[in-house]
Amino acid sequence: MSRFRKVAAGTWGDERFRSLSEPAQRLWFYLLTGPEVTSLPGLIVVGRAGLAEALGWSPSKLDRCFAELERATNEEGVPMAKADWRARLVWLPKGYRHNVPHNTNVILGWKELWRAVPECALKHEALIVLREFVATLGESFVTAFESAVDRYVAVRRRDQPQERAIAGGSKDNEAPMVDAVVSPSTSTSTAHPPTRACARAPAAPAPVTASSLFPEGVQGESSPRRRSPADEVFEHYLAVRKRHRPKTRGGVLEPKDRRATEQRLKAGYTVEDLKRGCEGLFLSPHHLGDNDRHTEYLAFRYILRDNNLDAFIALAEAAERRRRGAGISSPQAPAEPSEPPLSAAELKAEMDRFREGAVPEMFREVLGEGAKA
């Protein structure tokens, strides 16, 4: 667990924060910086009693302060905090503003954290909100997010008809029922499961729809994402790296590398040129570790540098010419043997004939037609 937490400096100027009492402000800062906070933005797995104990409060004082956070809404009607105390989950709908992931590895690290979040309506709402937020960071972040919650999303896809019925609501109440908040009194007294209790509670005014989870639509199977030229080049790089370094794992195309790839394509390089550059990277002795630091430089970004790309392409083309001159096929498509190899018995019979003075059939083409049969 990290020893540090991030809090936006604009918190002190926020109108909703300034409207809170001092105990409620303390509760807000605890929800942003407490030991229960993880890298998963806005989701805190903590119970009502545990939160009250951590702050040294009685449960009734916690209820009063948390109610202030629920009443403090923005112009869209989104409260500062929600809770499902029966599921032991607190959700800060705008918590991602204080905990923005800086790279895709952070999002990939959400996988185990997400599985540890209890199942309830608040988790479903968080999935929708975080999916929309991650979409603003770039395609590679979306890919990492889908990888981190792929199993959960697959389950939600099967439940789409039911989710659409819940999210549709009525004309008098257009807010989706997945936004419903279970108050402390309701969650501690009801005997129903969390999901059913959340569905019977009043809907929050936040205009979140389940269809925003799947931008391609929720009817039937989703259409595959169109692969861009940059994705094609990066997939070829991963294949080449896997061939030369079999133990390496896959990766995702970072936004800055995507932009650099697109710039090279706009500069006149073709997709095939960049693929040759990927081949050439793994033919460069310097980048393979033959340097004064004895360090390999095989990251995708090294291919895209101005002073590297042409050299890598030249290395790949030279290697291809040598293979063709020697009659060697490309490493992606190794040549198949024209005839099956001899069995042990057949090889022994040929060697016995050789000892008797006859030239085995397998050597006649090499020695010429005048060889003794």
- pLDDT tens digit string along 94-137? 888 887 888 888 888 888 888 889 988 888 888 888 888 888 88
Per-residue pLDDT at 67: 94
Residue 8 in tokens? 């936006």
Residues paired with 83 in a beta bridge: 90
User: DSSP alpha helices (H): ranges in 72-138?
Assistant: 104-108, 110-116, 121-135
Q: Taking residues 1-6, what's their average pLDDT?
A: 62
Instruction: State how far the alpha carbon of 371 is from the alpha carbons of 259, 346, 354, 359, in Å.
Output: 65, 20, 12, 7
Q: Which bin fits 343, alpha (ψ -120 to 50), beta or left (φ > 0)?
A: beta
Per-residue pLDDT at 214: 42
- pLDDT tens digit string along 160-198? 444 444 444 444 444 343 333 333 333 433 334 444 444
Residue 6 in tokens? 């991030």
pTM above 0.85, yes or no: no
Percent of the chain with pLDDT over 90: 23
Angle at 155 between CA 81 and CA 189, to 5 degrees: 45
Residue 162 contacts by C-beta under 8 Å, 6 or more apart in sequence?
none
